[in-house]
């Protein structure tokens, strides 16, 4: 019993699994930003629960502030890695998997921008809208860069195979449509009509920049799973990532379609705005139906993985954001079509999202305290 005491004390010591505390910086990767995506989308979903949304809004606001702190912390750690260990940090661009997670940075930022509208206006006034607008353009630039540069590296530098493919291929591509959906939420809050139509038009371009490519990847992913079955258990959560572009695509069409009539009418395009609104509703509903199929499939796959036992890793955050954005799209359909069914489904999905966030958050906190989650595969396998 006395012999067990040192190991017990070691378990209470922070970063006990690391050789030195600076390894936390040296081993920090963009995978951590997936936690800001999951936290941010839960914050945005809670106020939309029918009936009890107003009561849940303060919780969502607290999560939004917490998410800002997380994003600043992660940005500081990752920036420090580039400053202190730049020769190793740049290896990420040659790593087949870790490089994909660069897309989580702009997507995490997008949830903070949306929170500026959902919580910041009521808390700080309309003065926060220009701040959100500037941050949105930064997010757009990062999303456009991720969406083309990472695939370029895939085509020219990385070594990939069909049997080794997973849904993480979607991460750099989907960032643009997330920015597009955020633009749809932002546009109505802008006071300048020119800024409104520029934001609206840019958001549609972002949607088109991302969604067709993402659906092409989804088609290959279905083929890969049919031919080579499920990925390794370390990628268990990746089955949910496919729900992300579907849910975000639906949400983007819905919010942009809702913006279009008023914004385009102010520029003499009344008919175009009406058509865009109709397309938004129909496209959103159809994409939601596709997402329902993938939701059911991902649930079955997850049950299979969990029965066999799946070790925890940061990839588990993949269970949260895709489910969350599909949940928000579900709520949006309910308010757009005035159908209570979507509100009920959205509420059930929100409960599942909150439960998963608590589970993954607790495991992440424990792993971060011990230090075993700070692992950079691109150092272990140099290019």
Characterize 324-357 residue by residue with b for buried, 16 or more Cβ atoms within 10 angstroms of its Cβ, and e for exposed: bbbbbbbbbbbebeeeeebbebbbebbebbbebb
**pLDDT score at 309:** 84
| Structure tokens given for 57 | 């809004």
Q: How far apart are CA 348 and CA 326, in angstroms?
A: 12
DSSP character string of 176-232? HHHHHHHHHHHGGG-S-HHHHHHHHHHHHHHHHHHHHHHHHHHHHHHHHHHHH-SPP
Element housing 86 (H / E): helix 86-89
Instruction: Return the pLDDT at 356.
Output: 97
How much is the pLDDT for 4? Answer: 40
What confidence score (pLDDT) does residue 379 get?
Answer: 83
- Backbone phi and psi for residue 50, each to the nearest 5 degrees, phi listed first: -60, 135
CA-CA distance, 313 to 189, in Å (whole number)?
Answer: 39
Residue 185 and residue 117 in contact, taking contact as beta carbons nearer than 8 Å: yes
323: nearest Cα among 36, 37, 32, 74: 37
Residue 11: per-residue pLDDT: 55
pTM over 0.75: yes
Query: Which tokens in the block code for residue 357?
Result: 């966030």
What's the distance, Cα to Cα, between the start and end of the chain in Å?
A: 46
Q: Splitting the chain (383 residues) into consecutive groups of 10 residues, what average pLDDT does each group show?
A: 42 84 96 98 98 97 98 98 96 95 98 98 97 98 98 95 94 98 98 97 98 97 93 85 96 98 96 97 98 96 89 93 98 97 98 98 96 89 52
Are the C-beta atoms of 241 and 322 separated by less than 8 Å? Answer: yes
Helix, strand and coil in the chain, % to nearest 5 = 85, 0, 15
Q: What is the pLDDT of residue 381?
A: 57
Name the residue among 154, 113, 343, 147 with its Cα closest to residue 245: 147
Token match 């809702």: residue? 258
Residue 154 contacts residue 160 (beta carbons within 8 Å): yes
Q: How far is CA 104 from CA 34, 75, 273, 287, 371, in A?
A: 6, 12, 32, 22, 21
pLDDT of residue 215: 97
Query: Looking at domain 21-361, which of 3.40.50.1110, 1.10.3080.10, 2.40.50.180, 1.50.10.150 is its CATH number?
Result: 1.50.10.150
Instruction: Compute the distance between CA of residue 304 and CA of residue 36 in angstroms, rounded to an integer.
Output: 27
* 59 CB-near residues (< 8 Å, 6+ apart): 46
Residues in the chain, total: 383
Distance CA 308, CA 318 (A): 19
Residues 6+ apart with CB under 8 A from 136: 113, 179, 182, 183, 186, 199
Beta strands in the chain (DSSP E): none
User: In Å, what is the CA distance from 240 to each residue of 7, 126, 144, 291, 369?
Assistant: 37, 36, 23, 10, 27
pLDDT of 322 reads 97
């Amino acid at each position: 019993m006395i012999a067990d005491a040192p190991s017990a004390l070691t378990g209470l010591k922070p970063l006990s699994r690391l050789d030195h505390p600076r390894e936390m910086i040296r081993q920090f990767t963009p995978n951590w930003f997936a936690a800001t995506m999951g936290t941010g989308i839960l914050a945005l979903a809670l106020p939309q629960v029918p009936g009890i949304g107003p009561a849940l809004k303060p919780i969502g606001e607290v999560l939004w502030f917490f998410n800002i702190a997380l994003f600043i912390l992660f940005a500081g750690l990752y920036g420090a890695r580039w400053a202190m260990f730049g020769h190793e940090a740049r290896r990420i661009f040659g790593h087949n998997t870790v490089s994909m997670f660069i897309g989580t940075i702009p997507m995490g930022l997008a949830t903070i921008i949306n929170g500026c509208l959902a919580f910041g206006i009521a808390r700080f006034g309309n003065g926060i809208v220009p701040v959100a607008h500037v941050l949105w353009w930064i997010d757009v630039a990062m999303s456009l860069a991720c969406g083309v540069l990472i695939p370029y590296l895939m085509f020219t530098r990385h070594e990939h195979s069909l049997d080794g493919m997973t849904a993480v291929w979607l991460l750099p591509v989907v960032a643009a449509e997330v920015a597009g959906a955020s633009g749809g939420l932002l546009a109505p809050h802008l006071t300048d009509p020119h800024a409104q139509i520029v934001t609206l038009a840019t958001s549609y371009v972002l949607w088109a920049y991302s969604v067709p490519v993402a659906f092409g990847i989804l088609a290959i992913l279905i083929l890969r799973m049919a031919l080579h079955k499920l990925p390794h258990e370390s990628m268990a959560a990746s089955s949910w990532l496919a729900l992300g572009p579907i849910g975000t695509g639906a949400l983007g069409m819905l919010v942009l379609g809702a913006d279009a009539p008023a914004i385009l009418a102010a520029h003499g395009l009344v008919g175009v705005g009406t058509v865009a609104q109709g397309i938004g509703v129909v496209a959103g509903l159809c994409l939601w139906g596709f997402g329902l199929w993938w939701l059911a499939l991902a649930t079955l796959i997850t049950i299979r993985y969990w029965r066999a036992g799946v070790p925890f890793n940061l990839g588990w955050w993949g269970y949260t954001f895709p489910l969350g954005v599909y949940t928000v799209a579900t709520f949006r359909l309910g308010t757009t079509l005035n159908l209570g069914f979507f509100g009920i489904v959205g509420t059930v999905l929100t409960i599942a999202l909150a439960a998963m966030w608590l589970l993954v958050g607790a495991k992440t906190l424990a792993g971060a305290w011990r230090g075993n989650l700070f692992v950079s595969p691109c150092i272990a396998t140099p290019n």
